[in-house]
Structure 1
């Protein structure tokens, strides 16, 4: 009995030492992450355009590399890809704005008809509201708007300032994108010099694996976004909802925030269908949206994004939530690509198969080569 007591007492100090060691390391990691989050938030005006430029570089750099392989000078290839990309974006925006202008009168007419239907239902439906009661409710709404006029004006001024910040961020992102496309490899070689020489090649391979994962993520996300937009657009066309093209474009942009983006933008389409065409149209569009989300979750995400970034859905949701807390919509947009890059880079550093790989042998434009082969339990034992 005394032997057991002495053995237990000998274990307690070791347990305390291990717990204390883990505790201060955990505190140090949390403090470091907090400092990084504060720095990123303080430099958001610079970090967000640079992050968006990196995403665009991942999307456009394969085209630049393809042009250089056929003999086009890299500067000229960069210019051609940028001009072509801007022309496509400008053409799409012009088309969306034109379609929005054309569809707005029909939307106003249908909304007016729907409001008349709602008013008739309020009068003759289960509520049996009189004209006096409806006018009182309307007066309350108008009075609320008047009482909050200062806040509304302030919000308008804030929106104007935000537009100015967006324009500045766009110029900075475009300027940064030019250098990423023209000399991205040279910029990376300069950055990697801060790593000690004995592990520089491993860090170089891991970084290239991370960028390859980013290229795969952008390609896969763009494909998923196209499917979401086309599916929702077909549903809107089937029930005769106006503004099909603008709403489909909104769903396309929202799909770049995995899992939640297409749901939120699709809900806007459902709301407009409900207001403009009534509850039956709203339910039809809702059913189409649910079907598209099921297709994305069970087919497209595992087939495309799952192979590209190898992230668990829970990790994606938590990353989006953290991005929203730290950086709002921009943080949600950039959080999953950042997680994909870190995941692929860390997997490379922990992989024995990447020890003998030369940095020049890693093709960052090949989606199937975004990371080393998973060694399963052996790698876990090494860790």
Structure 2
């Protein structure tokens, strides 16, 4: 037969690959939405199974997960509105903040006379800086009002895409097992056991990483939220929630949530003290996460040595930034699983080349 000729099959396969590439390019946004929805369903699947095992139907399990997701989004939206409002208020009271800073420095110079030499320079710098920021930022905000309106329309588009993704995720959560079986049937039948085995290894590696990172994110969120509440920072629980949510990516939650925390601290009466203490809280959270929790917790949930976890995160961060840090540990855990499952039992490893 003509089809058995490799010179016929090769061009046909190349043409099919090219057509698939072009098609995926045209519907890349749809593919991305479907992928995000499947990831949400994948992450929610263990919780839904747990609820089903505790005498809830799958429908009610999905509904509980949906309420949790919407609750988190509502809290995050509340925080965003609060931060924007506080930032606008901070811009209006910037000269007052400058006066607080110079007053605090004057008090400091009474105890440390050596600082008197830079008192005048600091006073001039803070006063000029406050006025400059107000003059530059406020007219700039007015000037870019049209761009802001365009951004609002863009936000509406993002919300619409997010709603579509959520609907897809709900359907995928309801029929997760059927969808997984359909994806498995895409592969030829002789390959399916290997694909299923590989999929189970991926689930083990990624699942162990997610369990560990969720524990770490929960601790970081509670730690930051409680300490900021003790300090009297406005919206402290919401900032803790923000830190915990974004800390699914290692260290990202601390980096992102420190900005609104500092802005909100700047609206309190003892501005300088509160801002310094906020920095102390976030540095402490970062150090505890990096040197204690990540190596120990991820080492146990992914069966990796703590040194391996630290090296994997640092390598991923250096090579691909935040995305690299996110996937470094599960990929390393997957690599270890594959070595134990496929390479070490292999004849070439056992008997040598």
TM range (shorter): 0.5 to 0.7
Structure 1 residues 232, 48: CA separation in 2 closer, same or farther (over 3 Å shift)?
Answer: farther
Number of residues of Structure 1 aligned to a counterpart in Structure 2: 314
2:64 matched to which residue of 1?
Answer: 84
- Structure 2 unmatched runs, 5+: 1-20, 107-115
SS at match of 1:232: helix
Structure 1 residues 303, 43: CA separation in 2 closer, same or farther (over 3 Å shift)?
Answer: farther
Distance 2:318 2:75 in 1: 33
1:200 matched to which residue of 2?
Answer: 192
- Structure 1 unmatched runs, 5+: 1-35, 325-331, 355-373
* Superposed displacement of residue 109, structure 1: 8.6
1:252 aligns to 2:232 (yes or no):
no
* Superposed displacement of residue 218, structure 1: 2.8
SS at match of 1:280: helix
Distance 1:135 1:190 in 2: 65
TM-score (normalizing by structure 2): 0.67
TM-score (normalizing by structure 1): 0.63
Distance 1:203 1:93 in 2: 35
Root-mean-square deviation over aligned CA pairs: 4.7
Distance 2:262 2:136 in 1: 29
SS at match of 2:175: helix
* Superposed displacement of residue 337, structure 1: 5.8
* Superposed displacement of residue 380, structure 1: 11
1:59 aligns to 2:43 (yes or no):
yes
- Once the two structures are superposed, the pairs formed by residues 173-322 of structure 1 within 5 Å of their partners are 173-274=165-266, 276=268, 277-309=270-302, 310=304, 312-317=309-314, 319=316
2:120 matched to which residue of 1?
Answer: 126
Structure 1 residues 110, 49: CA separation in 2 closer, same or farther (over 3 Å shift)?
Answer: same
Distance 1:380 1:118 in 2: 70
CA contact (8 A) 1:254 1:261 kept: yes
1:117 aligns to 2:97 (yes or no):
no
Higher relative contact order (Cα pairs below 8 Å, separated by 6+ residues) = 1
Distance 1:296 1:95 in 2: 24
1:8 matched to which residue of 2?
Answer: none
* Superposed displacement of residue 80, structure 1: 1.4
Distance 1:82 1:60 in 2: 8
